[in-house]
Amino acid sequence: MPTDQFTPGVVAGRLSANEIANNFQDLHHPLNDHEALVAADRCYFCYDAPCATACPTTIDIPLFIRQIATGTAEAAARTIFAQNILGGMCARVCPTETLCEEVCVRETAEGKPVVIGQLQRYATDRLMAAGGHPIARAPETGKSVAIVGAGPAGLSAAHRLAMKGHSVTIYDARAKGGGLNEYGIAAYKAPGGFAQAELDWLLGIGGITLKHSQRLGDGVSLDSLQADHDAVFLGIGLAGVNALAVDGGDRDGVADAVDMIADLRQSADKTDIAVGRNVVVIGGGMTAVDAAVQSKLLGADTVTMAYRRDKAAMAASVFEQELATSKGVRIVYNAAPTAVTDDGVVFARTETKAGKLVETGEKFEIAADQVLKAIGQTLDGAPDILALEGRKIKVDEQGRTSVTGIWAGGDCASGGDDLTVTAVAEGRDAAEDIHASLTA
């Protein structure tokens, strides 16, 4: 089938650079000093605070908010960074509405939580802007650790190990470090090159060497890493993408949402990113929302997210779903794709019966000249010697794999949610166990 039959409206530069710049402004404006004080004053500073328990990195949230309330934002940032060295990015992208803010006492009592994420951003941005690095490095231990992957888990592990005095080398497959933070976050959530600025700031602790274009299994082997280093941590993420296994699922005009998001992140002004007039995004997670919203911001006339289950089962939070609809995205639930045609995507209507998803027999078609699939990512490039649990590297609570001397964390490892903040926690905790092993 000729491409132009399916993608007549997929073009770059549908909107002007100024229009796109306005559309892709920061999702949340940063708090000024007065707004931060007012927001901090709403905190009850709860003893045994549920917000801190809900945070995967166990930040002492009442303490850092009290520090903001007393005019010591830099101290608040140090409290945050002690637990989460990527607290700046997490403040921007964490689903706080389903973590700390969901269990906030103010949310329970009034339906309006303390804006914990925005306060965290206020504090971390203040300290990062001050220059220098707030955490001192311990004396050299003479030990060397290899980190594979410069994403949230790898960077968190690298920083904690460098802080302990170990020499760290990060091997990353891409031209830029940052992993998900650089390539996988919606452009409107972390604009202005923040991911690279945070990376440079993190490396300021010293003792970390970052090597680019170093892919495990292609020029870098696990055997060589084990020979050259005292320990290895794998934070390789989920580089593979599930195929759309329907008729026409591999035809021109069908693309991976993660590739579209990465292209947007690397584009100078986004006018070179092609978008259709009628876009269908298949999937129900955060990636699907990011792709759908950004398609609309690029100038698509209609954008439809189609998810095979009901709203309650959707991986994207209610906040993210409402964000999508507020930008003009239509969400269709209980719609399982069955074919991609010249005119769009054919779906089967579904329902859940006795706990199983079944088709009702009804079919319908949604017009599309561009289809973006966001139906899950898969582990790619894990060494065969490592045991798997399901489709991920099997690890214990300390992040230890089935092979002595090798740890793993983040999205590539079993257990936990596929969130930036969870990856940070797993990298940090694995680093603590690596340090204990190296100094025993």
Q: Does residue 73 sit in the same domain as residue 189?
A: no
Please give the mean pLDDT across all residues of the chain.
95
Residue 263, Ramachandran bin (φ over 0: left; ψ between -120 and 50: alpha; else beta): alpha
Q: Does residue 83 sit in the same domain as residue 41?
A: yes
pLDDT of residue 155: 98
Q: Is residue 348 one of the residues assigned to a domain? A: yes
Provide the domain limits for residue 57.
Answer: 33-129
Q: Sign (positive/negative) of CA torsion 408, 414, 415, 416?
A: positive
pLDDT of residue 219: 82
Q: Is residue 27 one of the residues assigned to a domain? A: no
pLDDT of residue 416: 77
pLDDT of residue 252: 85
Query: How many domains, the chain?
Result: 3
Q: Does residue 201 sit in the same domain as residue 320?
A: no
pLDDT of residue 381: 87
Q: What is the CATH number of the domain that holds 156?
A: 3.50.50.60
Q: What is the CATH number of the domain that holds 121?
A: 1.10.1060.10
C-alpha distances in Å from residue 58, one per residue of 70, 378, 386, 440? 22, 28, 29, 26
Of 328, 355, 376, the residue that ends a domain is: 376
Check: CB of residue 245 under 8 Å from CB of residue 254. Answer: no
Q: Is residue 109 one of the residues assigned to a domain? A: yes
SS3 of 262-317: HHHHHCCCCCCCCECCEEEEECCCHHHHHHHHHHHHCCCCEEEEECCCCHHHCCCC
Q: Which residues contact 228 (CB under 8 A, 6 or more apart)?
A: 144, 146
pLDDT of residue 141: 98
Q: Is residue 56 one of the residues assigned to a domain? A: yes
3-state secondary structure of 400: strand
pLDDT of residue 8: 62
Tokens representing 383? 């060494």
pLDDT tens for 7-30 read 568 999 999 999 999 999 999 889
Give me the percent of the chain exceeding a pLDDT of 70.
98
Check: CB of residue 43 under 8 Å from CB of residue 36. Answer: no
H/E run at residue 55: none
**Cα distance between residue 88 and residue 321, in whole Å:** 24
Taking 70 as the pLDDT cut, the residues of the chain under it are 1-8
Check: CB of residue 154 under 8 Å from CB of residue 427. Answer: yes
Q: Is residue 405 one of the residues assigned to a domain? A: yes
Instruction: Specify burial of residue 191 (Cβ count, 10 A radius: 0-12, 13-18, 19+).
Output: middle
Instruction: Give the single-character DSSP code of 331.
Output: E
Q: Which residues contact 181 (CB under 8 A, 6 or more apart)?
A: 86, 89, 93, 151, 152, 190, 195, 198, 199, 420
Q: Does residue 384 sit in the same domain as residue 235?
A: yes
Q: Residue 439's closest CA among 219, 59, 150, 138?
A: 138
pLDDT tens for 186-204 read 999 999 899 999 999 999 9
pLDDT of residue 415: 86
Q: Does residue 250 sit in the same domain as residue 350?
A: yes
**Cα distance between residue 298 and residue 22, in whole Å:** 11
pLDDT of residue 28: 87
pTM, full prediction: 0.95
Of 94, 129, 164, the residue that ends a domain is: 129
pLDDT of residue 320: 95
Q: What angle do CA 319, 322, 323 make, to 5 degrees?
A: 85
Of 376, 399, 426, the residue that ends a domain is: 376
Q: Sign (positive/negative) of CA torsion 34, 35, 36, 41?
A: positive
pLDDT of residue 225: 97
Strand bridging mode 370-373 / 231-234: unpaired
